[in-house]
Amino acid sequence: MKRRGSGVLLHITSLFSQYGIGDLGPCACRFVDFLSDAQQSYWQVLPLNPTSLESDNSPYHSTSAFAFNTHLISPECMVKGGFLRKNDIDTVPDFPCGTVDFNAVARFKERIFSLAYDRFIQEKTDLPDFYDFCRNNSWWLEDFALFTSLDQQYKGSLWSNWPDEIKNREPSALDAMRQSLKMKIDKEKFLQYLFYQQWQELREYSRKKGISLIGDIPIYVHYHSADVWTHPALFQLDERLRPMVVAGVPPDYFSKTGQLWKNPLYRWEEHEKEGFSWWIKRLEHNLAFFDYTRIDHFRGFVAYWEVAAGERNAINGRWVTAPGQKLLTVMKNRFADLPLIAEDLGIITPDVSELIDRFGLPGMRVILFAFTSDPSTSPHAPHNMKRNCVLYTGTHDNATTRGWLESDASPEEKKRLVTYMGREITAEKLPAEIIRLAMMSVADTTILPMQDILGLGGKSRMNIPGTDKGNWQWQMKRNQIDPFVSRNLAEMTRIFGRT
């Protein structure tokens, strides 16, 4: 990412699809075509790990750091691959327009997944690639498939409430469960294989079109996950295997009471003893699917906000140091180019910036943040931009640019915006003006949320930090991207030397 380029931030779920949720099939390929026609270089997505209804389908609260969200599997590609017949997907629920109904999607996908797996078993399809996939990924796939099957068996109860012999992973007890749950376990492996196959096809299509894919690694993992159950020694758990302290961030721009994420915190000394092997595997696995990856909450590698388990919010916490330099040194030795983006938003201290600079990583800047204080000194203002950064008009946690001016911006922020731009700008026209500022900046890389490219308002926001209901649902509508959008973005990209 050392040359000038630009791209688009759009999660897979937000693609238009007649099957209720964006997927890895024709709708994703059409979006790659749009990116190519618009002279873009990058497509950035949110984490692709499994989501759950209990966690509001947040991609940042997953049951696995290694598995993938099988709801993103394309029904059309399943037909093309021979796993379904065309009439299996002819009857589709009346999904809502412009929003994802995750409950309805889960019911529909489970029906066709069961059809596909039953047919796979009955016809005894010979799939050498499937067995290769299971063998090559057994180091995480076996535990994940067992965890998911046990989660269904115990009806969503926290793994720490499972029978002691299962909770404590006694070998004989696990072997017995593997036998009794074999069909469910094998089905989970089958679905992970389908995702893998479809993603590889999409990635190859993106390569041919000149589009690099940017992934996203949440720094923490969910407590109720295969990772914590499998590797409890790597996390700060008590004698009952419950979290002693949890992750979050103190009060900031996004929330007056901070954000209480409730993820278990790492026992960094244990990671260091193992040479950070779990982290190396995690990054290596991610980079097998993406060209670059963003590390969410990068500052947690330097110091993290520790909150006692049971607190109602994140106000009463403390900063604790983490071995970020040691971890990144090991990563650098394993991955020479270290294709990472450091998410360094929020409360950033000099030691965080020093670590980012020491390893030559691009940090993140968000233009709208320039107006939360004096733009003359803000690192987010275009005139203060440095080349080695990724500049956004907004992220998945921000209001859309139009929605910000219409509803979120304070009178002081609006005044600073007018002073900086030199004139009054309507909310309808602001997204295009802010995009132009981003594209003409010296930042090597500019990433634009699709909502801003389309000039959408606040109802199209992806997430409101500090809330846990009603997020992650926005979805594009059919034909929302017209040829004018593509031509306009391509022309701006060319003018500002980002083709």
CB-based contacts of 470: which residues, under 8 Å, 6+ apart? Answer: 56
- Predicted pLDDT of residue 467: 86
**Distance from the Cα of residue 396 to its chain's centroid:** 9
For 72-87, what is the mean pLDDT?
Answer: 96
User: What is the number of domains present in the chain?
Assistant: 1
Asked if residue 88 has pLDDT above 80, the reply is yes
- Predicted pLDDT of residue 260: 92
Angle at Cα 282 formed by Cα 277 and Cα 285, nearest 5°? 120
Active-site entry in 227, 397, 444, 452: 397
151 is catalytic: no
- Predicted pLDDT of residue 390: 98
Q: How far is the C-alpha of 56 from the C-alpha of 467, rounded, in Å? A: 10
Each residue of 106-128: pLDDT tens digit? 999 999 999 999 999 988 777 88
Helices (H), 137-231: 138-153, 164-167, 171-180, 182-208, 226-230
Active-site entry in 143, 216, 343, 452: 343
Asked if residue 350 has pLDDT above 70, the reply is yes
Tokens of 39: 């002279």
- Predicted pLDDT of residue 319: 96
Active-site entry in 23, 143, 227, 296: 296
Asked if residue 5 has pLDDT above 70, the reply is yes
Each residue of 415-435: pLDDT tens digit? 999 999 999 999 999 999 999
For the ranges 92-96, 210-214, 264-268, 463-467, the lowest mean pLDDT is seen at: 463-467
Sequential DSSP letters for 33-81 = HHHHHTT--EEE----S---GGGTT-TTS-S-SSS--GGG--HHHHHHT
Domain CATH number, residue 221: 3.20.20.80
- Predicted pLDDT of residue 254: 67
Residue 295, H or E segment = strand 292-295
For 431-444, what is the mean pLDDT?
Answer: 98
Q: How far is the C-alpha of 345 from the C-alpha of 407, rounded, in Å? A: 22
Strands 340-342 and 363-366: unpaired
118 is catalytic: no
Each residue of 41-63: pLDDT tens digit? 999 999 999 999 999 999 999 99
- Predicted pLDDT of residue 76: 98
For 472-496, what is the mean pLDDT?
Answer: 96
Each residue of 256-306: pLDDT tens digit? 888 899 999 999 999 999 999 999 999 999 999 999 999 999 999 999 999
110 is catalytic: no
For 384-402, what is the mean pLDDT?
Answer: 97
- Predicted pLDDT of residue 347: 81
CB-based contacts of 366: which residues, under 8 Å, 6+ apart? Answer: 345, 380, 391, 392, 393, 394, 395, 398
Tokens of 286: 């991610």
Average pLDDT, the chain: 96
Helices (H), 397-449: 401-403, 411-421, 430-440
For the ranges 133-142, 249-258, 290-299, 330-339, the lowest mean pLDDT is seen at: 249-258
Backbone angles phi, psi at 216, to 5 degrees: -150, 125
Looking at per-residue pLDDT, the higher value among 10 and 128 belongs to 10
Q: What is the span of the domain harbouring residue 320? A: 5-495
Each residue of 181-200: pLDDT tens digit? 999 999 999 999 999 999 99
